Amino acid sequence: MLKVINVVGARPNFMKVAPVVGAMRRRAREFQSLVVHTGQHYDAQMSDAFFRDLELPAPDIHLGVGSGTHAAQTANVMLRFEPVVARERPDWVLVVGDVNSTLACALVCAKLCVPVAHVEAGLRSRDRTMPEEINRVLTDQIADLLLTPSPDADENLRAEGIPPERIRLVGNVMIDSLYAHLERAKASPVRAQLGVNGQPYAVVTLHRPANVDDRTTLAGVLSALVELSAQLPVVFPVHPRTRERLAEFGLLDQIDARAPRLRVLEPLGYLDFLRLMSGAKLVLTDSGGLQEETTALGIPCLTLRANTERPITVTHGTNRVIGTDPARIISAARAALAHPPASRPPLWDGQAADRILNALQQAVGSRR
């Protein structure tokens, strides 16, 4: 039996870890699973509701790190995670995605010579101003097993000199969560509550500092959303960071006054958001995960960034990377509504979690 610590820190991690933990519970004779929550996302709306919706067991260990600068948060995770690893002595530590907790826990394992596997390895935006890009690159350099979602990620790792024996193409585990919960999400009343059931509407998410911390950029995106809302309702569940900036910049009042069909909401739980997103005619986002989910569901997606670490969603999917210029957002939105594309990358089939577990077993066999 393999003892595996599964690390979660921020909301994007939860959808990737839930299928893996579920697969370990089904294969309980082969795997012992521990869930460690670093507490990087500590708001109940950003954490507890997702554990419930994804049927994740309560964390076995909660580090309670909370907020801070990138350096402080990373350091605090390391300080609190190290004694956990030393005490539990796992066969593997599984880290996912690209948040500060991912890198912090991988560094602890590298120093303690404990094998670490990185789920969603090999993704690259080529933009070193993104903290996530630094976390991705460094985690991949020190992880023992790199579990990739798509062939382009394998190519990135080989180009960086990673030995092929450390790389395993397993597919996109986030799509496992998507397919597993689509049926359950149908019970959510969120569309009816918002008055968009049975009609076209768009969904927006924004949280990246480059988009929300600069008043000019945020105001420009908001002006495009206001204009788009004249064509169809636009539903905007607002990340806590984004809401703080909207209030700080005096932009919330403008929404209420100028755009009655631009609906600004509190963050939604996973099932409510999945129900809302899966019925949208268009999604506008700066989230990496939403680029993937919309590709899997065939929903047009406009990525409000200058680049993406998920180019397969552009070449094989429904995504377009358009930046934050208001005029371009409007023209791209109208084009996407008129001519929606549709396709799905290989191995985005809902079976990635079992391929991950098989890869962990095979890697242990090879070491022995």
What single letter denotes the amino acid at residue 190?
A: V
CA geometry: angle at 219 spanning 215 and 222, to 5°?
145
First to last CA, the chain: 14
In the DSSP assignment, the letter for residue 148 is E
Which residue, chain included where needed, has tokens 């995605």?
Answer: 97
Strand order in the sheet with 319-321: 262-265, 234-237, 202-205, 282-285, 301-303, 319-321
Select which of 41, 70, 181, 207 is catalytic: 207
How many Cβ atoms from other residues are within 10 Å of residue 188's Cβ? 19
Catalytic (active site) residue 41: no
Candidates 110, 120, 112; CA nearest to 143 is: 110
**Angstrom distance (rounded) from CA 179 to CA 349:** 8
C-alpha to C-alpha distance for 323 and 328, rounded to whole angstroms: 8
Please name which of 284, 303, 71, 271 lies closest in space to residue 188, comparing C-alpha atoms: 271
C-alpha span between 314 and 316 (Å, rounded): 6
Catalytic residue annotation:
207
